[in-house]
C-alpha cells in the first residue's frame, strides 16, 4: 500500500465525527494456530452469549478461504463481501440476521484477501464497517487459521485476540507458534488463551501449563487464560442442526462455558478507547506488517 493510500485511510479512521461515540465497538479477533480446533464454534458461541447479555454483536467472517459462519448458523446469505468490494452492494445490504439479534458480515470463499485490496475496495469496506460500527458494541472477527500475513495483520489491528487451541499436541505446537509471532510483533498485545474441547478441567489445565511453560522459558511471557470450553456432545448436535449451541441448548456444559466467557469479557475494560477507529488505523497502516 502506498503512503498516500495509508494516510487516506488513517484520516478516515481518525477524523469522522469524533464527537459522536461511533467507534465504541470493541474489536475482538478469534484465531487459531491450525484449523479444526472449533474456532468458528467459539465465535458463534461467544456472539450469542454476549447478545444474551444485551450486547449488540456483529461477526465479520474474515476467513476468505473457508467462509463458514453462515453455514454453521443455518443462514443463506444472498450477497457477500465480494459484492461490496465490487461496488454492487453496500455493507448494510449484505448483513444477515442471526440468532439473538447478532448480525453477520458473510465472506465469500476464494475472494481477495482483506489486506490486499485495491484502494477503491478498501474505502468501500471501511466506510461500510464504520456505519455498521455505529450500532454495535462488539465486532468479532473470525480469522482464518495459521500465521499467514493477512491473518497477522488483522490480529495486530484488533484490540484483543483470543487464541483457540485444543489439547492435541499438534494444536499446542501451532498455538505456541502463534503466540511467538504475536509476541515478537507486539509484546503488549492483549492475548487470551482459550482451551476448546477439553475432556476435563484437568486436561485443560495441563494444556495451559504446557503452553505456559514454553512461553515463559523461551519468550519470558506469561499467558493470560480466558478459560475452557469442555467437550460436549451437544455441540455436535447443534452443528448438525445448523444452530448455535447457546441458542439451541442453553443449559448444556458448553453453553454455560460460553456464557461465563462472555461475562469475563464484559467485566474487562478495553485497553484501547475508540476500538473501531483504532482497528482501521492499524489495519490501514503501511508499517503494521
Domain enclosing residue 187, as ranges:
3-283
Decide if 156 contacts 185 (C-beta within 8 A): yes
**pLDDT at residue 166 greater than cutoff 60:** yes
Q: How many domains does the chain have?
A: 1
Decide if 211 contacts 179 (C-beta within 8 A): yes
Domain presence at residue 288: no
Domain presence at residue 114: yes
Other CB atoms closer than 10 Å to residue 278's CB: what's the count?
19
What local confidence, expressed as pLDDT, does residue 18 receive? 37
Query: For the segment 112-139, what is each residue's pLDDT rounded down to a tens digit?
Result: 566 677 778 878 887 888 888 888 999 9
Q: Which of 128, 91, 122, 85 is nearest to 4 (CA)?
A: 122
Domain presence at residue 32: yes
Domain presence at residue 231: yes
Domain presence at residue 55: yes
**pLDDT at residue 2 greater than cutoff 60:** no
Rounded distance, CA 155 to CA 150, Å? Answer: 9
The angle formed by the CA atoms of residues 219, 225 and 36, to the nearest 5 degrees, is 90
Higher pLDDT, 178 or 117: 178
For residue 176, the domain's CATH number is: 3.40.50.300
Q: In this prediction, what percent of the chain has a pLDDT beyond 70? A: 81
Three-class SS state of 145: coil
Residue 123 burial by Cβ neighbours in a 10 Å radius (0-12, 13-18, 19+): middle
Higher pLDDT, 277 or 234: 234
Domain presence at residue 40: yes
Over residues 175-192, mean pLDDT? 94
* Of 68-77, 109-118, 134-143, 227-236, the least confident: 109-118
Rounded distance, CA 49 to CA 155, Å? Answer: 22
Three-class SS state of 137: coil
Helix spans in 118-200 (H): 119-133, 149-157, 169-185
Which residues are CB-contacts of 254 (< 8 A; sequence separation ≥ 6)? 45, 229, 230, 232, 234, 235, 245, 246
Residue 149 burial by Cβ neighbours in a 10 Å radius (0-12, 13-18, 19+): exposed
What local confidence, expressed as pLDDT, does residue 100 receive? 95
Domain presence at residue 289: no
Domain presence at residue 234: yes
**pLDDT at residue 269 greater than cutoff 70:** no
Check the CA dihedral 111-114-118-119 and report its sign.
positive
**pLDDT at residue 80 greater than cutoff 50:** yes
How confident is residue 111, by pLDDT bands cut at 50, 70 and 90?
low
Q: Which of 82, 37, 43 is nearest to 60 (CA)?
A: 43
Q: In this prediction, what percent of the chain has a pLDDT beyond 90? A: 61
Amino acid at each position: 500500500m502506498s503512503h498516500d493510500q495509508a494516510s487516506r485511510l488513517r484520516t478516515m479512521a481518525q477524523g469522522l465525527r469524533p464527537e459522536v461515540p461511533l467507534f465504541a465497538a470493541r474489536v475482538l479477533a478469534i484465531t487459531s494456530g491450525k484449523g479444526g480446533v472449533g474456532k468458528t464454534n467459539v465465535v458463534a458461541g461467544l456472539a450469542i452469549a454476549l447478545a444474551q447479555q444485551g450486547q449488540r454483536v456483529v461477526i465479520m467472517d474474515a476467513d476468505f478461504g473457508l467462509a463458514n459462519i453462515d453455514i454453521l448458523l443455518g443462514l443463506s446469505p444472498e450477497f457477500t463481501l465480494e459484492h461490496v468490494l465490487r461496488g454492487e452492494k453496500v455493507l448494510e445490504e449484505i448483513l444477515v440476521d442471526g440468532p439473538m439479534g447478532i448480525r453477520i458480515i458473510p465472506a465469500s470463499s476464494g475472494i481477495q484477501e482483506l489486506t490486499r485490496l485495491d484502494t477503491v475496495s478498501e474505502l468501500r469496506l471501511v466506510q461500510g464497517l464504520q456505519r455498521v460500527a455505529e450500532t454495535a458494541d462488539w465486532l468479532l472477527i473470525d480469522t482464518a487459521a495459521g500465521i499467514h500475513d493477512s491473518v497477522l495483520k488483522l490480529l495486530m489491528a484488533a484490540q484483543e485476540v483470543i487464541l483457540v487451541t485444543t489439547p492435541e499436541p499438534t494444536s499446542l505446537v501451532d498455538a505456541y507458534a502463534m503466540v511467538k509471532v504475536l509476541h515478537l510483533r507486539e509484546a503488549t498485545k492483549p492475548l487470551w488463551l482459550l482451551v476448546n474441547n477439553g475432556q476435563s478441567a484437568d486436561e485443560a489445565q495441563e494444556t495451559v501449563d504446557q503452553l505456559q511453560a514454553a512461553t515463559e522459558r523461551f519468550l519470558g511471557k506469561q499467558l493470560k487464560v480466558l478459560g475452557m470450553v469442555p467437550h460436549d456432545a451437544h455441540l455436535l448436535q447443534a452443528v448438525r442442526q445448523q444452530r448455535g449451541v447457546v441458542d439451541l441448548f442453553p443449559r448444556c456444559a458448553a453453553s454455560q462455558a460460553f456464557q461465563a466467557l462472555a461475562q469475563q469479557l464484559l467485566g474487562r475494560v478495553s485497553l484501547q478507547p475508540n476500538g473501531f477507529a483504532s482497528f482501521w488505523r492499524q489495519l490501514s497502516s503501511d508499517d503494521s506488517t
